[in-house]
């Protein structure tokens, strides 16, 4: 069995060593143009040339949860795409989102500004009930984030494509549930995959439907958010702020207004990082299962885009 590795912006050697150790009977090599065809691929943002040459792939393992970049390419006809299924990402995402929600709700950024000026001052405690948190996307990451926020007793709402039941979460689904979901939320967290249906989903119209003083946390993909609409609603005062981890262009261009905006917190696409050893263990387990002819979790349905 041959495995080829083609991951942009990733140090290859530790991955190759880890995959070789986990799958000792496999020949694991770093892809270069003209390399022999392989059975399985481990990829992140590969070039089209990779798939043009690797015509015999049975499965393509994406070392991330989001497969939007991969679905833009032409894959070999029999290759299924398998995404990372948590692999240590959901707990990181829960940390990130809880941190952003709590920092905003408890006004810790304002306290920090005060204490930096030597001010010992108190703010009136805000009512938790006034900060319902709506999570768009109740998949592997969204459901974990919802549970984590619930432990801090926030009122948590969730929205998904198909109807869902998540303990302690008021669930909405589909186009018919969207407006009620937005109207019930003050803090909005985006954990949707980027698809034709979800591109630009956070725009002037939808963000205006959040409760006054709304707050946006985008940890999914930059193209979910219409940047100018967020800025306009911050200027108008309908929105109070945003924490953004993902952007239409990454790295975020130096002259982008998000960098300097006083109500926007920017982080460099780091909310949930791919963890190498967890990911290798998961990929190796799935390759072994596929070799035995067994089904695996995390297979992407190209038709629905995630």
Orientation angle between helical segments 12-22 and 276-291, nearest 10 degrees: 40
**Contact with ligand NDP (CB under 6 A): which of 39, 53, 229, 245?**
245
Binders in 71-100 for ligand NDP, by CB under 6 A: 89
Work out whether the CA dihedral 123, 124, 127, 130 comes out positive or negative. negative
Angle at CA 65, nearest 5°, toward 8 and 301?
A: 110
Identify the three-state secondary structure at position 210.
coil
What 8-state DSSP symbol labels residue 17? H
Q: Could you say which of 186, 269, 273, 304 is catalytic? A: 269
**Among residues 66 and 137, whose Cβ is nearest to ligand OXD?**
66
Q: Does 65 bind ligand OXD (CB under 6 A)?
A: yes
The answer to whether residue 64 forms part of the interface with ligand OXD (CB under 6 A) is yes
Q: Does 60 bind ligand NDP (CB under 6 A)?
A: no
How many residues are given for the chain?
306
Q: What are the tokens at 296? A: 């695996």
Provide CB contacts within 8 A for 167, sequence distance 6+.
147, 150
Max intra-chain CA distance, the chain: 67
Find the shortest distance in angstroms from Cβ 38 to ligand NDP: 25
Contacts of ligand OXD in 273-302 (CB under 6 A): 274
Element housing 93 (H / E): helix 89-105
273 is catalytic: no
Q: How many other CB atoms are found less than 10 A from the CB of residue 178?
A: 16
Instruction: Say how far apart CA 16 and CA 124 lie, in whole Å.
Output: 54
Q: Which is nearer to ligand NDP, 217 or 284 (CB)?
A: 217
Closest separation between CB of residue 216 and ligand NDP, Å?
14
- Active-site position among 104, 144, 221, 224: 221
- Residue closest to ligand NDP (Cβ): 139
Interface characters, 117-156, with ligand OXD (x: CB under 6 A): ----------------------------------------
Positions 66 through 85 that interact with ligand OXD (CB under 6 A) = 66
Residues 89 and 254: their CA atoms lie apart, in Å, by 28
Which of 62, 155, 243, 271 touches ligand NDP (CB under 6 A)?
A: 271
Q: Is 276 a catalytic residue?
A: no
Which neighbouring-strand residues pair with 199? none
Shorter beta-carbon distance to ligand OXD: residue 156 or 191: 191
Shortest CB 274 distance to ligand OXD, Å: 6
Determine the interface stretch with ligand NDP among 23-31, 33-41, 113-121, 185-193 (rule: CB under 6 A).
185-193
Nearest to 40 by CA among 280, 267, 305: 280
Catalytic residues: 221, 269
Q: What are the residues binding ligand OXD (CB under 6 A)?
A: 64-66, 274
């Amino acid at each position: 069995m041959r495995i080829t590795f083609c991951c942009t912006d990733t140090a290859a050697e530790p991955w190759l060593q880890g995959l070789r150790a986990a799958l000792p009977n496999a020949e694991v090599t770093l892809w270069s143009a003209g390399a022999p065809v392989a059975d399985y691929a481990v990829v992140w943002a590969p070039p089209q040339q990779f798939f043009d040459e690797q015509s015999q792939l049975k499965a393509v393992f994406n070392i991330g949860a989001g497969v939007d970049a991969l679905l833009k390419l032409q894959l070999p006809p029999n290759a299924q795409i398998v995404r990372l299924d948590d692999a240590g990402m959901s707990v990181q995402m829960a940390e990130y989102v809880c941190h952003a929600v709590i920092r905003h709700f408890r006004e810790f950024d304002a306290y920090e500004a005060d204490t930096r000026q030597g001010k010992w001052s108190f703010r009136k405690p805000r009512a938790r009930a006034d900060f319902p948190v709506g999570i768009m996307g109740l998949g592997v990451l969204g459901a974990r984030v919802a549970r984590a926020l619930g432990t801090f007793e926030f009122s948590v709402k969730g929205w998904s494509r198909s109807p869902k039941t998540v303990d302690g979460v008021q669930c909405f689904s589909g186009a018919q549930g969207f407006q009620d979901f937005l109207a019930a939320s003050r803090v909005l967290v985006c954990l949707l995959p980027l698809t034709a249906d979800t591109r630009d989903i956070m725009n002037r119209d939808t963000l205006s439907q959040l409760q006054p003083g709304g707050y946006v946390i985008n940890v999914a993909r930059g193209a979910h958010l219409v940047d100018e609409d967020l800025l306009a609603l911050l200027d108008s005062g309908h929105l109070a702020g945003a924490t953004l981890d993902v952007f239409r262009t990454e790295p975020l261009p130096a002259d982008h207004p998000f960098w300097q905006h006083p109500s926007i917190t920017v982080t460099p696409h780091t909310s949930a990082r791919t963890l190498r050893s967890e990911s290798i263990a998961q990929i190796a387990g799935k390759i072994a299962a596929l070799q035995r002819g067994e089904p695996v979790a995390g297979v992407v349905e190209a038709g629905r885009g995630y």
